[in-house]
Amino acid sequence: MDIVICSSTTEGSAHLEKMLVSIDDWNLVGRTQSARGLVDLMNSEHVDVGLVTSDALEIGLSARRQLVQPTEGTATWVAHLEHESVLHMVKAAQFGFDDVITGPATAQSLERDLADIVSRRRSVVTNPALSEVDLIPGLYSRIVEYRDDTDRDLCELLGLGLEDRAAAFVLHTTIQDVRNRIAALLERNGLSTRTQLATLHIRSHLSIEDGR
């Protein structure tokens, strides 16, 4: 198995690298601290697993948005957390990671966990810690679809924190039109709430440089 590691610091990946080197069937093909570096690695090397540390989840998301299918779709994406953290599990799930592994671990446990994740015997969305949380897995790996420029402007205003009535004023339209548009945008993009729409719009427009 070929693996790349993405961490925002060299210290963050050092322990993982040390363990991976000792696992016979795993080959560390590269390491990077940037979204651009991760994109370049994924496009130039055969990669089975993208392993991203918790401090680099945004970098991982930013890079994956730049990758063209099937490159993005063939790798398994795993988030590594230093400690058990439901917050980071939620982030990993919403960012579209396949699963998370936690803790300092040993080479044997790391090998076992990665093998289970790659073979789809486990995933972050079935983690009991998230059973009470209403998630949309992979939500933030998507790009918002708009019907027209007014829809896009409306999403921009939602992302700027405006209420419906204020957005109607700025767009020179009625509150009825604004609310109908929001409902249509939610339906079109498979979303449940206004907040999901606003935050997805914001994240859709982050550039790879924003992810670092």
Partner 1 sequence: MADFGLHSLPADLSVDSVVDDAVFTDVTESGEVYRTFRIIRFVYEFDAHPQGWTHLAVAVAERNSHEVEVFLRIENRVIEESYVSANAD
Binding-site ranges for partner 1 (CB under 8 A): 163-164, 174-177, 179-180, 182-184, 186, 192-195
Nearer to partner 1, 47 or 178 (CB): 178
CA dist 177 and 68 (Å) reads 36
Distances in Å between the Cα of 92 and the Cα atoms of 11, 51, 61, 126 are 21, 12, 9, 13
| CB 180, min distance to partner 1, A | 5
| CB 195, min distance to partner 1, A | 6
| CB 173, min distance to partner 1, A | 10
Find out whether 20 and 113 touch, Cβ atoms under 8 Å. no
| CB 96, min distance to partner 1, A | 22
Residue 3 bridge partners (DSSP): 28, 49
Nearer to partner 1, 74 or 192 (CB): 192
Both tokens assigned to 26: 């795993």
Closest CA to 61 of 88, 94, 86, 32: 94
Residue 5 bridge partners (DSSP): 31, 51
Nearer to partner 1, 163 or 209 (CB): 163
Nearer to partner 1, 176 or 207 (CB): 176
